[in-house]
Amino acid sequence: MPSSHRPHQPPGLLLAPMEGLLDFVLRDVLTRVGGWDRCVSEFIRITDQLLPERVFLRIMPELAQGSLTAAGVPVRAQLLGSDPACMADNAARLAAMGSRGVDLNFGCPAKVVNRHGGGAVLLQDPAQIHRIVSAVRAAVPAGVVVSAKMRLGFAHDRLAEACAQAIEAGGASELVVHARTKAQGYRPPAYWHRVADVRQAVRIPVVANGEVWSVADARRCLAESGASSLMIGRGAVVDPGLGWAIRRELGGADLAVPRWSELLPQMQGFWTLVCQRIEPRARAGRLKQWLNFLRRRFPEAQRAYEELRTVNDPAAIQAWLDRPGQPDLRAPARNDSHMPREEALA
C-alpha cells in the first residue's frame, strides 16, 4: 500500500478521546509530557436538550482557557447523539464557547448509547449520519472545523466507505477511523488496511486509529493505512513518551524520549490535579487506574502499583508520594520545545 508519509516528516499525533480514562486530568498531564498535536474530549452525550454551558465545562474545562490544555495543546469537543437538530444546537453552543472544532462520535459501542440510536449503531445508516453532519456543519461558523470519528461498521465493515462518504458529503473536513467494527470491540488486531480503503473513497484527510502501542506499530499503521496522522489512546496512557519516541524514530528528530524518572514529576502533577478536581472517594482509584496502565511499560510503575493497590485514603497516598527516599516527585516539569502542529495533522 503506498504511503503518503514522508520520511523525516513526523506524523501528526492526536490523543484519543477516552471516556472515564483520558479526561481533562490526563490530557493536562500527557500534553505536558509533550509530543502530541491535538486532543479530542471524551464524548458529551446529547439526547433531547440543549445542554447548559456548565455541563460542557465540567467535561471539558479547557473551554474556559481558550480550548487549550495548560501546555497549549488544542482540544476539540466531541458530541455523541442521533438527533440532527439537537446535535446542531449543542454544536453551535460549543462553537460559541470557543471549542477548537466539533467532533462527532460514530463509534461508541456502549449498549445504552446504541439503544438510544447514538454511536456505532449509526454506522448502519449512512443517510442519518449525513443528516447529523450536515445539520452540525450548517449550525457552526465556517471557521469552526467539523470532524468525525467512526469505526469500520457495526456488525460488519461493508458500509465503511459509504459512511465515510456520508461524513464527507455532510461537510466534515477530517475523519478519524478506528480500524475495527463495533462487533470487534477492542480485540486485536486493528484492520489498518481498511483505513486505506476508506482513504481511497474520500478526499478529506483520514487519521488512522487503533492498536498503536509502539514505534513499530506506528510505522506499520502508517504504511498499511497510508495515513499521515495517527490517533493514539491506550498506547499513550501506557507510555506517555510514545509521542516523542514516534517523532524521533519516524520524524528523524534528535530529541530525548522521557524516561521514568522524568515522568515521575508528572505523576505528582496528576495527583495534585486529581485532588483539586475529582471527588474524594474517586481519587485513589484514578491514580491506581493510571498506574495499572503504566505498569505494562515501566517496572517502577509495577512496584508503585503493588504498594498502593490496597490504599484508598488520599492522605495515605499523599504520604506515600512524599515519603523520605521516594524520588523527588516535585521536580519542575519537563519544558518541551515541541509546538503542537494543528495544521499538520492531515
Ligand X SMILES: Cc1cc2nc3c(=O)[nH]c(=O)nc-3n(C[C@H](O)[C@H](O)[C@H](O)COP(=O)(O)O)c2cc1C
Nearer to ligand X, 107 or 205 (CB): 107
- Phi and psi at 180, nearest 5°, equal -155, 155
Q: Which is nearer to ligand X, 190 or 264 (CB)?
A: 190
Least CB distance from residue 234 to ligand X, whole Å? 4
Closest to ligand X by CB, 151 or 265: 151
**Smallest distance from the beta carbon of 16 to ligand X, in angstroms?**
3
Nearer to ligand X, 42 or 224 (CB): 42
All three cell numbers of 299: 517496572
| Nearer to ligand X (CB atom), residue 27 or residue 314 | 27
In whole angstroms, the minimum distance from the beta carbon of 32 to ligand X comes to 20
Phi, psi of 304 (to 5 degrees): -60, -40
- Minimum distance of ligand X from residue 209's CB (angstroms): 5
319: cell is 504520604
Please report, as ranges, the residues that interact with ligand X according to CB under 6 A: 16-21, 42-43, 78, 105, 107, 149, 178, 209-212, 232-235
Q: Quote the least distance from Cβ 62 to ligand X, whole Å.
A: 15
| Closest residue to ligand X using C-beta atoms | 233
3-state SS of the chain?
Answer: CCCCCCCCCCCEEEECCECCCECHHHHHHHHHHCCCCEEEEEEEECCCCCCCHHHHHHHCHHHHHCCECCCCCEEEEEEECCCHHHHHHHHHHHHHCCCCCEEEEECCCCHHHHHCCCHHHHHHCHHHHHHHHHHHHHHCCCCCCEEEEEEEECCCCCCHHHHHHHHHHCCCCEEEEEEEECCCCCCCCCCHHHHHHHHHHCCCCEEEECCCCCHHHHHHHHHHHCCCEEEECHHHHHCCCHHHHHHHHHHCCCCCCCCHHHHHHHHHHHHHHHHHHCCHHHHHHHHHHHHHHHCCCCHHHHHHHHHHCCCCCHHHHHHHHHCCCCCCCCCCCCCCCCCCCHHHCC
Minimum gap (Å) between residue 111 Cβ and ligand X: 14
- Rounded distance, CA 160 to CA 162, Å? 6
Catalytic residues: 108
